[in-house]
């Protein structure tokens, strides 16, 4: 009896129950979709902005890194004065150029000095060429 009754209800009748949808459902659906579309566009705009900002920050970082890499820094070359040096020259590859730079004697500190602007990591090889007073120079002086 139970089985027959359920079968009768389920199979012989289509839509034995129904639910009334709200009258304004269509409007609500449109509003929801509109909101979603706006949010998607806003998200896309935000994404573009974030990507652009990230690119800018990266570009600035790269520029800073490069400028730091190539920014010349002051290097003071010193050579102790023992009193026998007539002249002291710095010879080497500085800023990718072969250079010969004379050092000047600082009588207060007792050092031969030369200040050179050298790009970062660009000081590869250098030597001091020291010219000493000859015996003739000493005799002439005396």
Task: Determine the interface stretch with other proteins among 5-13, 67-75, 83-91, 104-112 (rule: CB under 8 A).
Answer: 5-13
DSSP 8-state symbol, 29: H
> What does the buried/exposed string (b/e) look like for 35-59 if buried means 16 or more CB atoms within 10 Å of the residue's CB?
eeeeeeeeeeeeeeeeeeeeeeeee
Closest CA to 125 of 100, 89, 97, 94: 94
Site mask, other proteins, residues 15-54, x = CB under 8 A?
xxxxxxxx--xx-xxx-xx--x------------------
Closest CA to 86 of 33, 136, 15, 40: 136
Give the chain's end-to-end CA distance (angstroms, integer). Answer: 143
How near is the Cβ of 54 to other proteins at its closest, in Å?
Answer: 27
How near is the Cβ of 45 to other proteins at its closest, in Å?
Answer: 18
CB nearer other proteins, residue 23 or residue 108: 23
How near is the Cβ of 48 to other proteins at its closest, in Å?
Answer: 20
- Give the residues lining the site for other proteins (CB under 8 A): 1-6, 8-22, 25-26, 28-30, 32-33, 36
């Amino acid at each position: 009896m139970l089985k027959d009754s359920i079968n009768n209800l389920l199979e012989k009748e289509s839509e034995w129950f129904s639910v009334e949808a709200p009258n304004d459902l269509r409007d609500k659906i449109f509003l929801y979709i509109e909101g979603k579309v706006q949010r998607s566009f806003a998200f896309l705009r935000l994404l573009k902005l974030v990507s652009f900002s990230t690119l800018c920050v990266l570009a600035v970082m790269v520029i800073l890194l490069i400028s730091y890499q190539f920014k010349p820094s002051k290097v003071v070359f010193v050579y102790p004065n023992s009193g026998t040096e007539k002249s002291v020259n710095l010879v080497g590859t500085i800023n990718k150029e072969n250079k010969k730079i004379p050092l000047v004697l600082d009588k207060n500190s007792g050092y031969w000095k030369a200040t050179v602007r050298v790009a970062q990591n660009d000081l590869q090889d250098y030597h001091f060429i020291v010219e000493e007073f000859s015996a003739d120079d000493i005799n002439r002086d005396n």
